[in-house]
Chain A
Amino acid sequence: MKRTYVMPLVVLTLICIVASAALALMETVTRPIISAAAAEREAAMMSEIILEAEGFEYIDLSGLSGVPQTIRAVYRTTNNVGYIFIAEVSGFSGVITIICGIDQDGQIIKTVPLSHSETQGIGTIIDTPAFLTPFQGGDSTLEGIDTVTGATITTRAFINAINDIFQALEEIRNGA
């Protein structure tokens, strides 16, 4: 009688242990490849945003309380051209990751979505130059930039991210 309770437990536990070991092994193999590729993608993206940048240094945001939660990372160019912001906001379906370069005068150099899972054909408008070009040269007032009918939620999320980025810029300048 006792066996009917013990055996299933033993087998299930053993399966879990073996499965975890296999996953841990795979993790050690793939983790370096995945993180190296991610860092490479981010670095390539950053130098594409600010062409004049010679290098980037990471800005620690932990001391700045007023930086919006959506800001994931901020970098400063080593030759004082400007800043790179990476922000994550909720779009229509899932997270939209946005990268944005801002120069020393507080004007947007360039901004593009890094990744998103918005509706094909509707939310994907944020990938188009028609939506992105008006941001270039814009300042914190975001004049002449509006949501796009039909893709209101996606475009509003994008614009909110840019607003958060300007707020973070303000904080960093006051803090520095």
Chain B
Amino acid sequence: MKLTRKQILTRGIIKENPVLILVLGLCPVLAVSTQAGNAIGMGLATTFVLLGSNIVISALRKIIPGRTRIPCYIVLIASFTVLAIMAIEAYAYTLYQALGIFLPLIAVNCIIFARAEMFASKNTVFDSILDALGSGVGFTLALFVIASIREIFGSGSWFGYAIPWLSENSVMIFSLAPGGFIVLACVLAAVNKLTKTYELRTHPGCNKCPNAGACGKHEHAS
């Protein structure tokens, strides 16, 4: 199954959304999704690292030896993360403060690693850029949706602007860790229902699996 460029770009947004379908990178999703503004910032920072690492890894895919590819990827991803951190600390200090420890943790975000290992290491630079943009936007979108729900009900505001009535009657659990799990589960359930990913459980098979393209073993199973 050869993907067109448009498919490479768009599949990460809904069909293979890294958070909502592939269920990757949940640590930042749960931790940073208390405010919509922070979620956008985190999403953009992650997209930048994803883009940088995908470009370099796909450009070096013929040079990086198979045996030491994992340390090579880690060095590259961590370097891009530190670049992003320095830029954010210098030019967007409030965001830097709000994201805290989760900014350095982009280095170990499994979405970035998954894209490097499953896509960038096997495809051209241009395709990898499209793939990174798709996955990055998908991650940002998922984070934004979850953070909006949590901020609106948990803090009674949206992007920091108070919402009448809700701001006086906020439900604090939405802002806390359990609320993060509950909202994430509800959003996952809704997306599963809408995209019919739940059919995977009842009708397993590579054709319906969002990972089939990357896994490359789909011709062996039926």
13 contacts between A and B (CB under 8 A): A11-B68, A12-B75, A15-B75, A16-B75, A19-B75, A22-B79, A23-B83, A26-B87, A27-B86, A94-B101, A117-B100, A120-B176, A121-B176
A64 on the B face (CB < 8 A): no
Total chain B interface residues with beta-carbon distance under 8 A: 29
| Residues on B with beta carbons closer than 8 Å to the beta carbon of A9 | 68
Partner of A121, one of B82, B87, B172: B172
| Residues on A with beta carbons closer than 8 Å to the beta carbon of B175 | 120-121
A11 to B155, CA, bound (A): 50
Do A8 and B155 contact each other (CB < 8 Å), given the known contacts A19-B75, A22-B83, A30-B87?
A: no
Q: Which B residue's beta carbon lies closest to that of A9?
A: B68
Interchain residue pairs A-B with the least CB separation, the first 4 = A8-B68, A19-B79, A30-B90, A8-B65
A1 on the B face (CB < 8 A): no
Asked whether A12 lies within 8 Å of B72 as measured between CB atoms, the reply is: yes
Flag B154-194 by CB within 8 Å of A: 1 or 0 each.
11000000000000000010011000000000000000000
Asked whether B93 lies within 8 Å of A15 as measured between CB atoms, the reply is: no
Flag A127-144 by CB within 8 Å of B: 1 or 0 each.
000000000000000000
| Residues on A with beta carbons closer than 8 Å to the beta carbon of B76 | 15, 19
| Residues on A with beta carbons closer than 8 Å to the beta carbon of B93 | 37, 41
Partner of A30, one of B60, B68, B78, B89: B89
A19 to B73, CA, bound (A): 11
Flag B67-108 by CB within 8 Å of A: 1 or 0 each.
110011001101100110011011101000100110000000
B63 on the A face (CB < 8 A): yes
Q: Which residues on B are within 8 Å of A, measured CB to CB? A: 34, 60, 63-65, 67-68, 71-72, 75-76, 78-79, 82-83, 86-87, 89-91, 93, 97, 100-101, 154-155, 172, 175-176
A160 on the B face (CB < 8 A): no
Per DSSP, chain A at the interface is helix
Asked whether B89 lies within 8 Å of A23 as measured between CB atoms, the reply is: no
How many residue-residue contacts, CB under 8 A, span A and B? 66
A122 to B154, CA, bound (A): 12
Q: Which A residue's beta carbon lies closest to that of B34?
A: A120
| Residues on B with beta carbons closer than 8 Å to the beta carbon of A120 | 34, 154-155, 175-176
Partner of A119, one of B67, B155, B176: B176
A33 to B88, CA, bound (A): 11
Asked whether A23 lies within 8 Å of B79 as measured between CB atoms, the reply is: yes
A39 to B82, CA, bound (A): 22
CB distance from A147 to the nearest CB of B (A): 20
Identify 20 new A-B residue pairs, CB closer than 8 A, beyond the known A11-B64, A15-B76.
A8-B67, A11-B68, A12-B68, A12-B72, A12-B75, A15-B72, A15-B75, A16-B75, A19-B78, A19-B79, A26-B86, A26-B87, A27-B86, A34-B86, A37-B90, A41-B93, A94-B101, A120-B155, A121-B154, A121-B175
